[in-house]
Amino acid sequence: MPDFDYQLVVIGSGPGGYVAAIRAAQLGLKVAIVEKDATLGGTCLNVGCIPSKALLASTEHLHFARERFAAHGIIAKEISVDLGAMMKRKLEVVGKLTGGVGYLMKKHKIEVVKGFGKLADAHTVDVSAEGAAPRQLKTQNILIATGSVPIELPFLKFDRKRVINSDQGIALAEVPKSMLVIGAGAIGLELGSVWRRLGAEVTVVEFLPRIAAVGFDAETSKILQRNLEKLGMKFELNTKIESAQVSEKGVELKGSNAAGPVSFKADIVLVAVGRKPFTTGLELEKAGVKLTDRGRVAVNEHSQTSVPNIWAIGDVTDGPMLAHKAHEEAVAVAENMAGKPGHVNYQIIPGVIYTAPEAASVGLTEEEAKEKKLNVSVGKFSFTANGRAIAADTTDGFVKIIADAKTDKVLGAHIVASNASELIAETVLLMEFSGSSEDLARTIHAHPTMSEAVKEAALAVDGRMLSA
């Protein structure tokens, strides 16, 4: 057995990399983590999940203050925005969490190696950083957790001023008068909401026939779109953008829909058409690590690449690009490396869009159930009949439970609600335990809570709702 400096070197410190490093250290492995950026935490903590949610929270308060305070008897005559202060708070939130990852690395005695990592061979990671001597880390295992980067459209190169991606979309210094968003997925809808609430005219262009089309139930898309239109966002669906002109004054996009050619003008365009795996410069070929046809690192069910001691998780591998997917894979891969039976249940990964109301989904949609010709029973309950929602002024949305018609096993849950991201967890747990709608219907829920709507939707699966 050759002499290694480490049992595991992780490349990338996002929710995949840093969590795997912690779990491996807990299991007694000697671990180093390599990160090219100035702070730990990856896309999620630095420019993704966390800063976007900080801005969503701030602007939701703003919107509520402007639109709903009066109905609650709160008189706030002048409400104005200090965008600088809002961005400063966002950075403080990010700093707290990225600092927290640094603390966790120290606590678990994980060595943080700053710099760009690449493979020299199956047991060697070369690290280079400006102003520091290059290092060579000899290791038993390597974990690739290098994440993803925004996709660029070939005719619309990012200039980071007029043509932006989410990295700039969470950090604009002023509110644009008008913003085009290409892509009605999670980024387009979340950041579109932020800038609309701050006063920009926002038009979202999407080539599919509905918003939130990937992973969400069609009814969710409908209700979400209706609510976002109420906010003032405009949607151009079934529309393909084919060319663009960018000038000092703004952006003009040209394309087509069923009615013929279309064009749109705005100050700025946010391109949110998905992300692609980031493997640039890793030199995977030097160790013989293979990619899939779509450029992701190919792995087996244990997150093992084509080279047995090299593993890969998170956005750089197949599956939904979500922080909690990376996180779960991180725990499982560390356990597999340590000879324990790590496992991820890929059938039950919740997805959330943090608009107002939020949309959350887990398992099968009604459309998927139909496509698969499954015999299902569907229960639905609207928040307009939920006491807590009425009291809290958050009645937009519904809960839908999809259960197998014969066995009653819950196969999917879809929630649109102000706190759908939290409410979905109950159904995720139920599905982890292969629970039935009857289990949910007979579980006592505190009153008054929004979660009672989940119970009512479960009762509705066989038509015995008690509150509507």
Annotated catalytic residues are: 447
Q: Is 241 in the site for ligand NAI (CB under 6 A)?
A: yes
379 makes contact, choosing from ligand FAD, ligand NAI, none, with CB < 5 to 8 Å by partner type, with none
CB nearer to ligand FAD: give 228 or 459: 228
Two structure tokens written together for 273: 């058409």
Q: Is 321 in the site for ligand NAI (CB under 6 A)?
A: yes
Q: Is 206 in the site for ligand NAI (CB under 6 A)?
A: yes
Contacts of 62 (CB under 8 A, 6+ apart): 79, 81, 197, 198
- For the chain, what is the total number of helices (H) and then of strands (E)? 13, 22
Q: For residues 341 and 226, give the distance between their C-alpha atoms in angstroms, rounded to a whole number.
A: 45
Q: Single out the residue of 7, 59, 139, 166 in contact with ligand FAD (rule: CB under 6 A).
A: 166
CB nearer to ligand FAD: give 30 or 36: 36
Interaction residues for ligand NAI, span 355-414 (CB under 6 A): none
Two structure tokens written together for 159: 């200039």
Query: Smallest distance, Å, CB 320 to ligand NAI?
Result: 6
CB nearer to ligand NAI: give 33 or 321: 321
Q: Single out the residue of 6, 8, 10, 13 in contact with ligand FAD (rule: CB under 6 A).
A: 13
CB nearer to ligand FAD: give 274 or 448: 274
Interaction residues for ligand NAI, span 264-283 (CB under 6 A): 272-275
208 makes contact, choosing from ligand FAD, ligand NAI, none, with CB < 5 to 8 Å by partner type, with ligand NAI
Give me the residue label for tokens 């995720």: 428
Query: Smallest distance, Å, CB 321 to ligand FAD?
Result: 4
Q: For residues 3 and 381, give the distance between their C-alpha atoms in angstroms, rounded to a whole number.
A: 61
| Nearest CA among 236, 75, 269 for reference residue 159 | 269
184 makes contact, choosing from ligand FAD, ligand NAI, none, with CB < 5 to 8 Å by partner type, with ligand NAI
CB nearer to ligand NAI: give 186 or 401: 186
N-to-C CA span, the chain: 68
Q: For residues 132 and 264, give the distance between their C-alpha atoms in angstroms, rounded to a whole number.
A: 48
Sign of CA dihedral 252, 255, 258, 259: positive
Q: Which amino acid is at 380?
A: K
Q: Is 186 in the site for ligand NAI (CB under 6 A)?
A: yes
Piece of the chain touching ligand FAD by CB under 6 A; list 89-97, 151-159, 323-331, 357-365? 323-331
Query: Smallest distance, Å, CB 74 to ligand FAD?
Result: 30
CB nearer to ligand FAD: give 126 or 452: 126
CB nearer to ligand NAI: give 134 or 209: 209
Q: Is 146 in the site for ligand FAD (CB under 6 A)?
A: yes
Write each residue from 343 to 362 as x if it is in contact with ligand FAD (CB under 6 A), else as -, in one continuous string. Answer: -----------x--------
Cα-based distances in Å from 259 to 210, 237, 238 = 17, 12, 10
Write each residue from 298 to 317 as x if it is in contact with ligand NAI (CB under 6 A), else as -, in one continuous string. Answer: --------------------
Query: Smallest distance, Å, CB 334 to ligand NAI?
Result: 23
Q: For residues 412 and 426, give the distance between their C-alpha atoms in angstroms, rounded to a whole number.
A: 12
CB nearer to ligand NAI: give 205 or 297: 205
Q: Is 187 in the site for ligand NAI (CB under 6 A)?
A: yes
| Nearest CA among 306, 314, 301, 277 for reference residue 289 | 306
Q: Which amino acid is at 424?
A: I
CB nearer to ligand NAI: give 188 or 412: 188
Q: Is 265 in the site for ligand FAD (CB under 6 A)?
A: no
Q: Single out the residue of 123, 142, 147, 431 in contact with ligand FAD (rule: CB under 6 A).
A: 147
Q: Is 224 in the site for ligand NAI (CB under 6 A)?
A: no
Cα-based distances in Å from 441 to 86, 227, 428 = 42, 29, 15
Q: For residues 317 and 275, give the distance between their C-alpha atoms in angstroms, rounded to a whole number.
A: 12
54 makes contact, choosing from ligand NAI, ligand FAD, none, with CB < 5 to 8 Å by partner type, with none
Task: Tell me the Cα Rg of the chain.
Answer: 24
Q: Is 101 in the site for ligand FAD (CB under 6 A)?
A: no
Q: Across the strands, what pairs with 125?
A: 119, 137
Two structure tokens written together for 324: 């909690």
Overall residue count recorded for the chain in this entry: 468
Give me the residue label for tokens 């005219």: 201
| Nearest CA among 265, 242, 248, 48 for reference residue 161 | 248
User: 3-state DSSP call for residue 322?
Assistant: coil
Residue with the closest Cβ to ligand NAI? 185
Piece of the chain touching ligand FAD by CB under 6 A; list 28-36, 340-348, 356-364, 395-403? 28-36
Contact between 8 and 337 under an 8 Å Cβ cutoff? The reply is yes
Q: For residues 174 and 426, give the distance between their C-alpha atoms in angstroms, rounded to a whole number.
A: 40
The binding site for ligand FAD (CB under 6 A) comprises 11-17, 34-37, 42-44, 48-49, 52, 116-117, 145-148, 166, 187, 278, 281-282, 314-315, 321-324, 326, 354
